[in-house]
Chain A
């Protein structure tokens, strides 16, 4: 009988007038990689803050590694690891000193052997005496994961683990997270707004929007739920809804900004019809969304997860943090 690694019921967080997390039920079974997928500001990071006891729960209950986060936060904290989106280490200390400090804070004895083997595992053993300030982003991320694993936690929280990383480092990190999950038998709860990350990495995904779960399941289950494809179409002048619904295969049309979002049985067929019936010179933009976690999100909420509009300030902050941290 395994205990649920995370078991939250009716989890709610209200900041003033904003309900950041709205009655979320979250059950994560031990051993897997669980992804919270959603756009920026959906409440992913807040959920992590609530589950780790960093932020007070407004309403509802949360058990992490078997302990009530509200009543026994210290017990829960002994059993969790944490990897921050912005890579938080003490740059003035060496890799080994960072590990030493973490061991003191977690009050674990006999940690040196484990620390050595973790440094070997993450290929950092020849840099253990070097100051962390001089490490590359990839190395810093690795050291942070090593810190999170040092006290043999049952659950590791990873907040946007690959944000701001280039494609190669990101792929390397995916493999590393998979490996960590397997070899250290630790449950991973991660947040992401990258569709392909959730798809490639997670056994189980919860899609979150405006503080609520809109869908949950394995990536395949979620994709199977949407038996449709989507076409985003923008024309000048705009087409009338009736014209669109008259196109073959169109199930519904939803206005999206200055264009339309068409739910269709087969994008290929409808696209061919659009190109013959609509004057191609009026088409301003057309985009096809195949079945993916993105299309699940579009189906449920009418908007995209990866809308770049909301991301710009976030990235700026991220890189500013990184620069400051590397100084």
Chain B
């Protein structure tokens, strides 16, 4: 490089420092918004996504909720609440009512898979290269994908609640409790989609998300208080359930739906879970997110 050119380059470097492309939050916000909006546009332009989103909650409640249909209500109450819990026995009206918060919590588990799959698709089709050849950081890509997937999962919540109403569940808790519950579900969804994306950051194989989904989803779904009361579990499974964020989202929801009470501790646990995974995931992704 000639001296004049070097000087000009040095000058540009100084000017560039003020407009630091990587460090400007507003600028990163635009990149995030662009990628996030893309995720949502792509998802909801697919008519099948909408159909599945609408049908799936009904299927859950119809098939799984009906599995205790022939159990007399008194016995069901004993099964779900235990013998020495008159408060619970008074509040439970059906298995669907008991099940609704749990099903919503477990449905947040699987949404991470879609975010991971769309990321792998972007790597396979080269779109990740298009993104990373602009001044967009890997961390921004990661956050947009994780929150995009979580948002997609949140759409299931109103549908599911409407479905529960259709199955005869009525909920009379105040609105702020509802808000807190939905916030808890959102945090759970963000945490799990962030976890999936972090695990698959360096993968380009279509099969990975499915394998991980089986590995994570099944144990966490059953070793939680989402579908059955944990009191019936052996102690080792109770231990898992006690640390499992799915349990906290399910209990948070059950408090609202069944008892009309609210547990700030459960919500706090979920917030901690989401924040920790997002932080770790961002660090992992900014290092290991592959372009192709």
Q: Which of B1-55 contact A (CB under 8 A)?
A: 1-2, 4-5, 8-9, 12-13, 16, 21-22, 27, 30-31, 33-35, 38, 41-42, 45-46
Contact yes or no, A93 B125, CB < 8 A: no
Contacts of A92 in B (CB 8 A): 41-42, 45-46
Chain A contact residues, majority secondary structure = mixed
* Contact pattern, A 70-92, Cβ under 8 Å of B = 1, otherwise 0: 00101101101010101010101
Give which listed residue, A2, A63, A66, A90, contacts B38 with CB less than 8 A: A90
The answer to whether B155 has its CB under 8 Å from any CB of chain A is no
**A-B Cβ contacts below 8 A, count:** 101
Q: Which of A67, A93, A101, A324 gathers the greatest number of chain B CB atoms within 10 Å? A: A101
Contacts of B136 in A (CB 8 A): 105
The closest CB in chain B to the CB of A71 belongs to: B13
The answer to whether B273 has its CB under 8 Å from any CB of chain A is no
The answer to whether A191 has its CB under 8 Å from any CB of chain B is no
| 30 CB-based A-B contacts, threshold 8 Å | A1-B8, A2-B5, A3-B1, A3-B8, A4-B1, A7-B1, A54-B291, A66-B8, A66-B12, A66-B13, A67-B9, A75-B13, A75-B16, A75-B21, A78-B21, A78-B134, A80-B133, A82-B133, A84-B130, A86-B126, A88-B126, A90-B38, A97-B38, A101-B35, A104-B31, A105-B35, A105-B134, A107-B31, A324-B125, A325-B125
Chain B residues in the interface with A (C-beta under 8 A): 1-2, 4-5, 8-9, 12-13, 16, 21-22, 27, 30-31, 33-35, 38, 41-42, 45-46, 125-127, 129-137, 291
Given A67-B16, A84-B130, A77:B34 Cβ within 8 A: no
Contacts of B41 in A (CB 8 A): 92-93, 97
Give which listed residue, B12, B42, B133, B135, contacts A93 with CB less than 8 A: B42
Q: Give chain A's interface residue range (CB within 8 Å of chain B).
A: 35 or more
The answer to whether A58 has its CB under 8 Å from any CB of chain B is no
- What is the minimal beta-carbon distance from B236 to any residue of chain A, in angstroms? 44
Contacts of B8 in A (CB 8 A): 1, 3, 66
